[in-house]
Amino acid sequence: MKLYYYTFSILILFAFASCKTTHTAAGKTKTTAKTPVKKVNGKPNFIDGIEVTPGTIVTSKHNTGSAKNKVEVSKTNPDAEVKNWNIEKANWLQLKYAIMLDATVERLTNVALLQKMEEWWGTKYCLGGNTKNCIDCSGFTALMMQSVYNISLPRTAQEQYDQSERIDNDELKEGDLVFFGSSSRRITHVGIYVTNNKFFNASTSSGVIINDLNEPYWKQRFVGGGRVVK
């Protein structure tokens, strides 16, 4: 009987020791080694040397760590015209109006013009109007030319036609005026040419909008283009 209790006690001690050993081994298994963060010139260096200064705009997505492929950080105004332009740097207005004007984004570099058009888009037409409550065609062109190009125009469409220099249709470029009416002596409407035969204007039916010179209504009333220089 004593031998039985003696043997039983040894088995209990052995089982307890085995559980403790197993628990210690499991605890060690769950422990993960921490990967040290390398430092370069006293600063943390993560993911192959990519470093970005807070508050700046990253214009490159990859960096191999070499000087040749160093990440370029642009501190310029993203709305400003950029040299070596690419679509990744496009202003949202350029993308929007490229679709509306059926033109490539690269051709719409004058963001100030697009911003002003966006500001006045849909403003109702009224003869003699010059506010965002309502505006007429010559009031709109005078406002746009002054705010975007710093060019002063007379108030009426006829006066704007008389003051501008005549240009051929194939010479039209952004900022030129396009005139409509029954003749050069009776100009009844004016707009600002943008690109791809499209022009901004305050139309009597739709207010401030984009139209196309090839639309039948405008094509039969088109008198010609004019350029005003400072």
Query: CA 156 to CA 177: how far, in whole Å?
Result: 13
**Residue 137 known to be catalytic:** yes
Return the closest-CA partner of residue 194 out of 221, 225, 215, 168: 225
Indicate which residue of 91, 197, 201, 211 is catalytic. Answer: 201
Token look-up 């006293």 returns 42
Residue 161 DSSP SS3: helix
Q: Is 189 a catalytic residue?
A: yes
**Given this model, what pLDDT does residue 190 score?**
98
- The pLDDT value recorded for residue 214 is 97
Q: Which of 137, 196, 211, 214 is catalytic?
A: 137
Q: Where are the domains of the chain?
A: 111-227
Contacts of 67 (CB under 8 A, 6+ apart): none
pLDDT for 90 equals 75
Q: Under CATH, which number does the domain 111-227 receive?
A: 3.90.1720.10
Other beta carbons within 10 Å of 49:
14
User: Which residue is catalytic, options 84, 133, 169, 189?
Assistant: 189
Give residue 89's pLDDT.
63
| Contact (Cβ atoms closer than 8 angstroms) between residue 157 and residue 150 | no
Block mean pLDDT (10 aa), the chain, length 230: 48 45 43 47 45 35 33 36 53 95 94 97 97 98 97 97 96 98 97 98 97 98 94
- 23 in active site: no
pLDDT of residue 29: 41
Q: Which residues fall within 8 angstroms of residue 207, CB to CB, at 6 or more apart?
A: 122, 123, 124, 125, 134, 135
Q: Give the per-residue pLDDT at 229.
A: 84
User: Helices 137-149 & 111-120, crossing angle to 10 degrees?
Assistant: 150
